[in-house]
Structure 1
Amino acid sequence: MKCEVSIDPAYKEPKIIILTDKMTDEISEMMKRLSETYMDSIAVFSDRGVEIIECKDVVRIYAEKQKVLIQTVSGIYTVRSRLYELEEKLDSKIFVRISNSEIVNSKKITSMDISMTGTIGVLLTGNIKTYTSRRYVSKIKKLFGI
């Protein structure tokens, strides 16, 4: 594959053009990656009102009692987005879904207990203990090379 960059003052925003004879899986994946924009902060609600938190500070996002909650080391906040909407907007290399009701920041995982049959115990920063569902065990093992 050849790569070329052309500097032109007429272009105020970068433009990427792919020239090829046919569409391949590699090109589709490249286009998907180039078009992805991940959020780097989230507007959350607390007893103090609306706050902006950095995504890198998020330990986990989970659903409980018909609400979506975001937990950081400093507290728990509510958010109006649905879990699947947040999953689409967050960087999939960092945030991983471990059950139908929970997404965790893989950089905040301190240890995993794989001794239990059918599930994985996950210990997160701040001594937060959670579990994967059976449905997501193979995905987690593949992600971490277990």
Structure 2
Amino acid sequence: MKIELSIDPTCEEPKLIIITNEVTDEITDIMEFLSPDSFGRISAYTHRGVSIVNIQNIIRIFTENKKVYIQTSKDIAEVKLRLYELEEKLNSKQFVRISNSEIVNIDEIANMDISKTGTIGVTLNGNIQTYASRRYVTKIKKQLGL
């Protein structure tokens, strides 16, 4: 693959053009990586239509009835990506997977209650209650430095 850069003083906004004879997996990966979603925003769908959510505003991401949702302090909205795809996009220093069906924003964790049975009750800002599965306890502790 060749990369070419052209500097034009009259250019007001950078523009990226991909010239190819066919769309390959490599081209698709590059387009996804450079898409607006990869720069700290995710497209979400509510009853009001499509909205762009800043990743910093996400409290948690969870699955319910085979759909993926993001929750902010204002709203819950559906996203079209799968949980593992979102996990790959998110900064691991800001988000931690706590179960097969949920990822939480570390900055939004208000309290963690470790019970004798090994489960972890997690209280998020906004008094949102959830639980971490035992399978993820070691990973969570490592990521949080506990």
TM-score range, shorter chain: 0.7 to 0.9
SS in 2 for 1:91: coil
Could you say which residue in structure 1 is the equivalent of 2:11?
A: none
The alpha-carbon distance between structure 1 residues 44 and 139, as it changes in their structure 2 partners (threshold 3 A), is same
- Using the TM superposition, give the Cα deviation of residue 11 of structure 1 relative to its aligned residue in structure 2, in angstroms: 8.6
Could you say which residue in structure 1 is the equivalent of 2:109?
A: 109
Could you say which residue in structure 2 is the equivalent of 1:83?
A: 83
Alignment of 1:126-137 (within 5 A): 126-137=126-137
Once residues 130 and 116 of structure 1 are traced to their aligned partners in structure 2, the CA distance between those partners, rounded to angstroms, is 17
1:15-39 CA-to-partner distances (Å, cap 9, x unmatched) read xxxxxxxxxxxxxxxxxxxxx9854
- Using the TM superposition, give the Cα deviation of residue 145 of structure 1 relative to its aligned residue in structure 2, in angstroms: 2.8
Q: Is the 8 A contact 1:111 1:124 kept in 2?
A: yes
The alignment covers a number of residue pairs equal to 114
Could you tell me the TM-score, scaled by structure 2's length? 0.72
1:33-60 CA-to-partner distances (Å, cap 9, x unmatched) read xxx9854011100111000010000000
Calculate percent identity across the aligned residue pairs. 56
Q: Is the 8 A contact 1:59 1:108 kept in 2?
A: yes
Once residues 66 and 115 of structure 1 are traced to their aligned partners in structure 2, the CA distance between those partners, rounded to angstroms, is 29
Q: Is the 8 A contact 1:99 1:133 kept in 2?
A: yes
- Using the TM superposition, give the Cα deviation of residue 118 of structure 1 relative to its aligned residue in structure 2, in angstroms: 1.5
- Using the TM superposition, give the Cα deviation of residue 141 of structure 1 relative to its aligned residue in structure 2, in angstroms: 1.4
Could you tell me the TM-score, scaled by structure 1's length? 0.72
- Using the TM superposition, give the Cα deviation of residue 114 of structure 1 relative to its aligned residue in structure 2, in angstroms: 1.1
Q: Is the 8 A contact 2:98 2:131 kept in 1?
A: yes
Once residues 68 and 11 of structure 1 are traced to their aligned partners in structure 2, the CA distance between those partners, rounded to angstroms, is 40
Q: Is the 8 A contact 2:62 2:68 kept in 1?
A: yes
Q: Is the 8 A contact 2:93 2:143 kept in 1?
A: no
Could you say which residue in structure 2 is the equivalent of 1:123?
A: 123
Could you say which residue in structure 2 is the equivalent of 1:56?
A: 56
SS in 1 for 2:135: helix
Could you say which residue in structure 2 is the equivalent of 1:65?
A: 65
Could you say which residue in structure 1 is the equivalent of 2:22?
A: none
Could you say which residue in structure 2 is the equivalent of 1:138?
A: 138
